[in-house]
Structure 1
């Protein structure tokens, strides 16, 4: 306990000293004045009593001084060592309490200035962090823009469709830090989503595609992640991979699907807003999940792919036969080489049809060139209108060459049947004569019955020779017996 804190230290000491001296002196004079008989032991006892009282009083006075001073000292030591300016709690009314108030005022000013410095430092730190963040974002955007620019520059070096798609995906895989990516294009008539290109850093995930039965992905409208992307025309993040409830599984790909841990699916939009397909960015490496920040670059990649697709269409249009409007045969041959290589790579079906107009040379000999060109133009238009968007046709003399990706022999025969039906409905008038035309066709298909896609044109021509030798106006599939070949009239 702290006594005497309501008076000054000087008064405390003086009053204590006077009390220690005055009390025994007063008692001594009282005994003498009253002439009381007091023995020596009594004097000795009184002396011990006065000494004890003086000792206790001195101790209380000393504690009233040293204890508050000790509190002040601890606060000063804490300030010097830890730079912590905690206020001194003192409730007295002496010189020590005055010292504590002055020290608290100094500490308060220090804390105020320290808080100001801390706030300014925090503001500077926040500004620096914000600046670094903006700088990092700008550097990242610059790197992504540089990546897109480099791809665009390389796209100008070739018109090869597959080469350009591979260039885009290779750069996207490297820039985004993902395991692989694939481009899937949609067929508006059949709603089939087919693989156009696949690239990745883990080649082991891709090399076995030629060994797999990799059919077209037949998706119903708005089915699966790709269906949602096509429906909403917006990218989707699926960081649960194949476990995402929106993920559409296919039994043919179950082993590969189980390796999909995260997925970003983005739409490929044409210049008119039409959805041409989707790009799947699979398994981000670092960080292991896709973020919203990845979407702008994915959309830029989709824009580049759309540019390649539309340029590919423009390329076809620029190199078309003037009479029929079909692709020139040299361009057709280049596309055939690309599609045959792709069909082998992805184990997808491919068919080639060579369609020959029966006895067309006789019509040429009996009529004028303008009339012949009109027949060729009308038949070419019928062929083009019957083909799917992914098919390609060209004309050489009286023969039409059809390239049918993702079509087996049965599909090719069905399509040729539709073309023959359109041709046989046509009637051409010349000098009061009516000409009706029939056609023969040979079909070569990969992988059945032709195991080598590069030989499809050769096999289709051999099948056409067989169809003509058997009487014309029929379709023959290469390697099938004439009796078993379907006759279409």
Structure 2
């Protein structure tokens, strides 16, 4: 690129001299007016030539700048094409490699921020983000949407008696069971600790109850050697969303209230409004929920 820029500037600055030399060599009568006109025209021509050369050399840089601005403002990865094998081409290669590295790191950070490292499931932040579009679609298509909240019974005592490694085994086993029982398009997340959640698109309350019951039975059938015969159970709260007046947090809160009831009614059961017609009462301020 430097050699091309030097050659262009050299030619552009010598156009007036070359023009004067050609005029003198032609044998025409020399006049001050003619020389001034030749110098003026030659200077304009040389400047235009220098402009064309520099524009040709710097055009890829301008395209590179536009691509970087688009990436910064809109998050769209630019399509950077190496046009020449010079300094600008090498700059294009380096910028493309830098963007690819940044994207890999950003994707890794996003996965860490939106997923649970132990189970590989999405976390509450991920669930809140993806459920929003599912709620909008259910409203638009007028299809039901149900949520299942589940909590492992007496999980703290499992950790206390058998250690946290055994507790991790239980969490992973629950995760695999949920993946096996639930459908591929259901949205499953670990909300924290021993609590999980699943949003079921296109699913009414009756079907959601059946799915939760199958999941309860599958969890109760699990046998983990580390627990030396101890049985694993879970309690469930099931809620069909009222799509007109409820948002994500409302749906999850109501399912949690049914889950709280299931814990209070003896655990290892599926609870919903049909199972208890009475008005749901949340725990009073200062009261502690039943042991998990």
State the TM bucket, normalised to the shorter chain.
Answer: 0.5 to 0.7
How many angstroms apart in 1 are the aligned matches of 2:141 and 2:208? Answer: 19
Larger radius of gyration: 1
**8 Å contact from structure 1 (residues 439, 472) kept in 2:** yes
1:434 aligned residue: 229
Q: Report 1:385-396 matches (<5 A).
A: 385-395=180-190, 396=192
2:255 is the counterpart of 1:460: yes
CA shift for structure 1 position 317: 9.8
Return the structure number with greater strand share: 1
**Root-mean-square deviation over aligned CA pairs:** 3.2
Question: Which of the numbers 120, 123, 130 marks the counterpart of 1:328?
Answer: 123
Tell me the residue number matched to 1:405: 201
Q: Could you list the per-position Cα deviations for residues 347-402 of structure 1 after superposition, in whole angstroms to 9, with x for gaps in the alignment?
A: 22111111011111111111111111111111111111222121111111111111
1:482 is displaced (CA, Å) by: 6.2
Structure-2 separation of matches of 1:347 and 1:316: 32
Q: Secondary structure at the match of 1:430?
A: helix
- Looking at structure 1, the residues matched to 149 and 270 of structure 2 have their Cα atoms a distance apart, in angstroms, of 10
Q: 1:352 to 1:373 in 2, by over 3 A?
A: same
Cα-to-partner distance string for 1:320-359 (whole Å, 9 max, x where unaligned):
3222221122101211222223322332211111101111
Once residues 425 and 477 of structure 1 are traced to their aligned partners in structure 2, the CA distance between those partners, rounded to angstroms, is 23
Q: Which has the higher contact order (CA 8 A, sep 6+)?
A: 2
What SS does the aligned partner of 1:324 have? coil
C-alpha separation between the residues in 2 aligned to 1:387 and 1:316?
22
Alignment of 1:346 onto 2:141: yes
Give 1:429 deviation, angstroms: 2.6
Q: Does 1:362 align with 2:157?
A: yes
What SS class does the counterpart of residue 403 from structure 1 fall into? Answer: strand
SS of match in other structure, 1:452: coil
Deviation of residue 478 (structure 1)? 3.5
**Structure-2 change in CA distance of 1:324 and 1:482 (3 Å):** farther
Q: Specify every segment of 5 or more residues in structure 2 that has no aligned partner in the other structure, as ranges.
A: 1-69, 77-109, 279-292
Q: How does 1:53-64 map to 2 (within 5 A)?
A: none
1:148-169: per-residue Cα shift (whole Å, max 9, x none)? xxxx98xx749xxxxxxxxxxx
* Equivalent of 2:220 in 424, 430, 454: 424
Q: Which residue is equivalent to 1:477?
A: 272
Q: How far is 1:316 from its partner?
A: 7.3
For 2:75 and 2:275, the matched residues in 1 are separated by 43
Q: How many residues align?
A: 176
Deviation at 1:479, TM superposition (A): 6.5
User: Aligned with 2:199: secondary structure?
Assistant: strand
- Please tell me whether the aligned partners of residues 238 and 271 of structure 2 are also in contact (alpha carbons under 8 angstroms): yes
> What CA distance in whole angstroms lies between the structure 2 residues aligned with 1:473 and 1:388?
22
**Alpha-carbon distance, 1:408 to partner:** 0.9
CA contact (8 A) 2:158 2:166 kept: no
Equivalent runs, 1:243-262 vs 2, <5 Å: none
Distance 2:270 2:205 in 1: 11
Q: How does 1:134-213 map to 2 (within 5 A)?
A: 157=75
**Structure 1 residues 372, 453: CA separation in 2 closer, same or farther (over 3 Å shift)?**
same
Q: Does 1:446 align with 2:241?
A: yes
TM (normalized to structure 1)?
A: 0.33
Cα pair distance change 1:418/1:157, threshold 3 Å? farther
Report if aligned partners of 1:464, 1:476 keep a CA contact under 8 Å in 2. Answer: yes
Sort the Cα spacing of 1:397 and 1:344 in 2 relative to 1 into closer, same or farther, 3 A. Answer: same
- How big is each residue's C-alpha offset from its partner over 1:432-480, in whole Å with a ceiling of 9 and x where there is no partner? x3211111100111249x9525421111011111111111111111465
Contact kept in structure 2, 1:352 and 1:401, CA below 8 Å: yes
Alpha-carbon distance between aligned partners in 2 of 1:391 and 1:357, rounded to the nearest angstrom: 20
What is the CA deviation profile of residues 183-233 of structure 1, one whole-angstrom value per residue up to 9, with x for unaligned ones? xxxxxxxxxxxxxxxxxxxxxxxxxxxxxxxxxxxxxxxxxxxxxxxxxxx
